């Protein structure tokens, strides 16, 4: 019986008593609680020692009191710093490294560094941990907890703590630099696009300029050719004018001589016809003389000099019967040329001719600063307001015969040549029917400084 009881006791497991089970559970729970508290303390940086399991057993590493300033220094660094075991476990992290990962500091320690390296770079990071005993440094990318990618310059250096290999990790945030580089690239791309666009515009402008230059060159050649042709035509025309002026002048002089001879032999109606013929010949001679003077004016630059205006006026008055022309005052010398008598003579002749048989002509001179103001006034029919401008223009005097108006045109050309101006007014303001006043200005000789 006893043998059977003993065999039964050996083969059947002993069931722990209730109190013993409770004790075992308490020990296990206490161990788990202590491990959790220890891990939490390591994560929070509240301990001065940690345990690392090795093939030789567990080893305890302590942070001595002399190392405290360095720990404070690392905690204050702007760069992220961490201590990583050989398998990648983060044994220590400063606050800057936690900020890079967008995680609370307490949750960083104990995590694997490999979970924070972007997947394309994980294998390279593992290789760097084994490749160079003196450490490596290169750009890398961290994967933050919220999914963001943080570009960093990652320095990894192996260390030996009491024979155990760990790695110091320093991460410099390159976000701002990358943003600046991106902004610079964008600005460069934009500038490059603008330069290309501007270069294209300049190329088009240059092509247009080249085409315009060709057109301008062609036009210039045409103008040179036309100018040459015009010069030849002008020389030819001047030749014809010289021949005509010379030959017609000679013919008119001969005709005028025979008209004078006929006047001495005729009387009655025949004499009247010859007198009209002689007046026509005289008019033709006058027109030829005026044309010759205009050609002379346009031929070259005027040579102006001081001329006695008072003497020129009195000389022209002397060509008319006494009493017809009244001249008051005197005039200083003016800067003109030898054709000044043409101006005075044409204006006096115009007043006498168109003023009627009872016309009275008055010449006045006034001081006008650097100029002398001269007016030739008549008591004739005057000039209507709508004709005061056109009266100096060639061939616009529609009511007059061939050659009429050339005298006033010659006056205008000469006065403008002298630097003055000419115009016509009413002798009595507001009453054109009571006569005209032809007014012109000439520069005083004393006003021109050598």
Strand-pair category, 422-428 with 431-443: antiparallel
Claim to verify: residue 360 and residue 307 sit in the same structural domain: yes
Q: What is the CATH number for 108?
A: 3.30.450.20
Claim to verify: residue 396 and residue 331 sit in the same structural domain: yes
Q: Assess if residue 9 is contained within a domain.
A: no
User: Can you give the residue range of the structural domain that contains 163?
Assistant: 48-173
Claim to verify: residue 319 and residue 438 sit in the same structural domain: yes
Q: What is the pLDDT of residue 270?
A: 80
Which residues are 89's β-sheet partners?
112
Q: Confirm whether pTM is higher than 0.75.
A: no
Among the listed residues 90, 81, 167, 80, the one whose alpha carbon sits nearest the alpha carbon of residue 131: 167
Q: Assess if residue 14 is contained within a domain.
A: no
Claim to verify: residue 362 and residue 442 sit in the same structural domain: yes
- 28-46: b (≥16 Cβ within 10 Å) or e: eeeeeeeeeeeeeebbebe
Q: What is the pLDDT of residue 321?
A: 84
Q: What is the pLDDT of residue 57?
A: 60
What's the number of domains the chain is made of?
A: 3
Q: Assess if residue 320 is contained within a domain.
A: yes
Claim to verify: residue 192 and residue 284 sit in the same structural domain: yes
Claim to verify: residue 426 and residue 318 sit in the same structural domain: yes
Q: What is the pLDDT of residue 40?
A: 61
Q: Assess if residue 378 is contained within a domain.
A: yes
Claim to verify: residue 165 and residue 54 sit in the same structural domain: yes
Claim to verify: residue 395 and residue 407 sit in the same structural domain: yes
Q: Assess if residue 6 is contained within a domain.
A: no
Claim to verify: residue 161 and residue 264 sit in the same structural domain: no
Rounded to the nearest 5 percent, the helix, strand and coil shares of the chain are 55, 25, 25
Q: Which two tokens stand for residue 416?
A: 């403008």
Side-chain half-sphere CA neighbours of 264 within 13 A: 5
- Of 299, 316, 336, which one is at a domain's C-terminal end? 299
Q: What is the pLDDT of residue 279?
A: 76
- DSSP for 241-281 reads HHHHHHHHHHHHHHHHHHHHHHHHH--THHHHHHHHHHHHH
Claim to verify: residue 362 and residue 428 sit in the same structural domain: yes
Question: How far apart are the C-alpha atoms of 406 and 390, rounded to whole Å?
Answer: 12
Q: Assess if residue 256 is contained within a domain.
A: yes
* Consecutive 10-residue averages of pLDDT for the chain (450 residues): 45 56 64 59 56 58 53 76 90 90 90 90 86 82 90 89 84 89 91 92 91 90 88 71 64 73 79 79 71 68 87 90 85 90 89 86 93 93 87 54 64 90 92 92 79
Claim to verify: residue 128 and residue 213 sit in the same structural domain: no
Among the listed residues 297, 303, 308, 300, the one whose alpha carbon sits nearest the alpha carbon of residue 445: 308
Claim to verify: residue 283 and residue 356 sit in the same structural domain: no
Q: Assess if residue 95 is contained within a domain.
A: yes
- DSSP for 73-117 reads HHHH-SSEEEEEETT-BEEEE-HHHHHHTTS-HHHHTTSBGGGGB
Q: What is the CATH number for 437?
A: 3.30.565.10
Q: Assess if residue 424 is contained within a domain.
A: yes
């Amino acid at each position: 019986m006893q043998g059977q009881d003993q065999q039964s006791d050996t083969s059947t497991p002993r069931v722990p008593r209730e109190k013993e089970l409770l004790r075992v559970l308490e020990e296990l729970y206490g161990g788990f609680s202590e491990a959790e508290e220890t891990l939490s303390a390591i994560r929070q940086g509240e301990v001065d020692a940690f345990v690392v399991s090795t093939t030789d057993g567990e080893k305890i590493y302590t942070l001595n009191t002399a190392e405290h300033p360095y720990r404070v220094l690392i905690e204050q660094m702007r760069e992220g710093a961490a201590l990583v075991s050989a398998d990648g476990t983060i044994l220590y992290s400063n606050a800057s490294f936690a900020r890079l990962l967008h995680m609370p500091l307490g949750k960083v320690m104990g995590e694997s560094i490999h979970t924070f390296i972007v997947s394309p770079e994980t294998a390279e990071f593992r290789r760097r941990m084994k490749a160079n005993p003196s450490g490596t440094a290169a750009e890398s990318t961290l994967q933050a907890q919220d999914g963001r990618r943080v570009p960093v310059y990652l320095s990894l250096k192996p260390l030996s703590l009491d024979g155990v290999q760990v790695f110091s990790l320093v991460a410099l945030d390159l976000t701002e630099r990358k943003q600046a580089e991106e902004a610079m690239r964008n600005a460069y791309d934009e500038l490059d696009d603008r330069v290309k666009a501007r270069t294209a515009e300049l190329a088009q402008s240059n092509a247009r300029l080249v085409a315009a230059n060709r057109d301008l060159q062609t036009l210039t050649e045409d103008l040179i050719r036309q100018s040459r042709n015009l010069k030849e035509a002008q020389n030819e025309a001047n030749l014809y004018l010289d021949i005509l002026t010379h030959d017609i002048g000679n013919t008119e002089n001969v005709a005028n001589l025979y008209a004078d001879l006929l006047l001495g032999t005729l009387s009655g109606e025949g004499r009247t016809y010859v007198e009209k013929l002689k007046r026509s010949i005289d008019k033709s001679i006058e027109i030829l003389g005026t044309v010759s003077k205009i050609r002379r004016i346009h031929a070259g630059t005027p040579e102006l000099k001081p001329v006695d205006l008072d003497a020129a006026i009195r000389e022209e008055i002397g060509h008319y019967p006494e009493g017809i022309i009244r001249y008051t005052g005197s005039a200083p010398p003016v800067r003109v040329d030898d054709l000044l008598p043409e101006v005075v003579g044409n204006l006096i002749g115009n007043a006498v001719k168109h003023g009627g048989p009872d016309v009275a002509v008055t010449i006045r001179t006034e001081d006008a600063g650097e100029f002398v103001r001269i007016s030739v006034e008549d008591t004739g029919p005057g000039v209507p307001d709508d004709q005061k401008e056109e009266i100096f223009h060639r061939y616009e005097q529609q009511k007059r015969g061939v050659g009429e108006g050339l005298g006033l045109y010659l006056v205008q050309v000469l006065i403008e040549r002298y630097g003055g101006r000419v115009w016509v007014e009413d002798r009595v303001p507001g009453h054109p029917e009571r006569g005209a006043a032809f007014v012109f200005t000439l520069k005083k000789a004393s006003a021109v400084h050598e």
